[in-house]
Amino acid sequence: MARRWWLIGVMAEGHVKRIFEGRLTTDGAGVRLRRVFSNNTVALFDPFLLLDNFGSDDSDDYVRGFPWHPHRGIETVTYMLEGEVEHGDSMGNSGVIRSGDIQWMTAGCGIIHQEMPKKYDGTMRGFQLWVNLPAKSKMISPKYRGITGDQVPTLKEGRAEIKVVAGKVGGVKGPVSDLAVDVEYFDVKLAAGGSFERPAESTTFAHVIEGSGSTAGMRVKANQCALFDEGGEVRIVTDEGIRFLFVSGKPLKEPVAWGGPIVMNTQEELEEAFRELSEGTFIKEAKGGVAKA
């Protein structure tokens, strides 16, 4: 196999552990979406908790949005392909996530925010990924990162085009840094006859947005998510064209206590978070990068 510009060393082609179809559901105030994976797959996708694929050409499917709600213990990554989402949070951030933009939010010790999609002339499409925070970072101060589409570098080589949101490939580094968990997050387009190779040294998955392709002898198509075994090389080829999200991160291998929008390590921590939410003490004052009550 010829060495590609994004391949480090020579590795055996990896295997697909499982292909996920996801399930249609509603969340927020009635947003219809496809939940690719969630709390029943925690051990498989560690450190990733949830991936939602949302979009429709009918605004009734999404305009009710996600009104004010809390998060603690995680990072949320919202990536808009097409459409606009108004947002606001308890840190005072507000604005609009537009086509091509990314919102990478570290909830840390606690944040309350809202995400409200706006009516869009066309098909609104986007994704939200939840990344678990390690125990040592669960109670860090919240952080908001708003990245516009023109800040995301694109690497083009042959029949491949890669938008690098986080991580580094072919000498191109994404704009998202200072993360508690090192994550690679690429938006990959392959024209017909194209291929993509990348080591799968940690938890690695590819979620197909458009088209179809083959990997490890298996066919993957739009709305499917291929989870790869660790230790091999991901190789995706296509004869018709494909676009997919490629995401990887090192597993935390820590206990998970998950209650709705809050993810901690123990049931006691989870109960404390909801008690503070009801008592009005959920939002903490930051001191030296670590929140205090």
Instruction: Delineate the domains of the chain, giving CATH numbers in brackets.
Output: 16-249 (2.60.120.10)
* CA–CA dist 155, 33 (Å, integer): 30
0.75 exceeded by pTM: yes
Contact between 164 and 174 under an 8 Å Cβ cutoff? The reply is yes
- Residue-wise pLDDT tens for the chain (293 aa)? 333 444 333 445 668 999 999 999 999 999 999 999 999 999 999 999 999 999 999 999 999 999 999 999 999 999 999 999 999 999 999 999 999 999 999 999 999 999 999 999 999 999 999 999 999 999 999 999 999 999 999 999 999 999 999 999 999 999 998 899 999 999 999 999 999 999 999 999 999 999 999 999 999 999 999 999 998 899 999 999 999 999 999 999 999 999 999 999 999 999 999 999 999 999 986 443 434 33
Q: What kind and span of H or E run contains 163?
A: strand 160-166
| pLDDT score at 13 | 63
**Cα angle 273, 276, 277; round to 5:** 85
Q: Quick one: pLDDT at residue 11?
A: 45
The Cα–Cα gap between 222 and 204 comes to 18
- Of 230, 221, 159, 224, the C-alpha closest to 198 is 230
Task: Say what the pLDDT of residue 289 is.
Answer: 40
Chain center to CA of 220: 19
Q: How far apart are CA 108 and CA 27, in angstroms?
A: 22
Give pLDDT, residue 125.
Answer: 97
The predicted structure's pLDDT at residue 290? 38
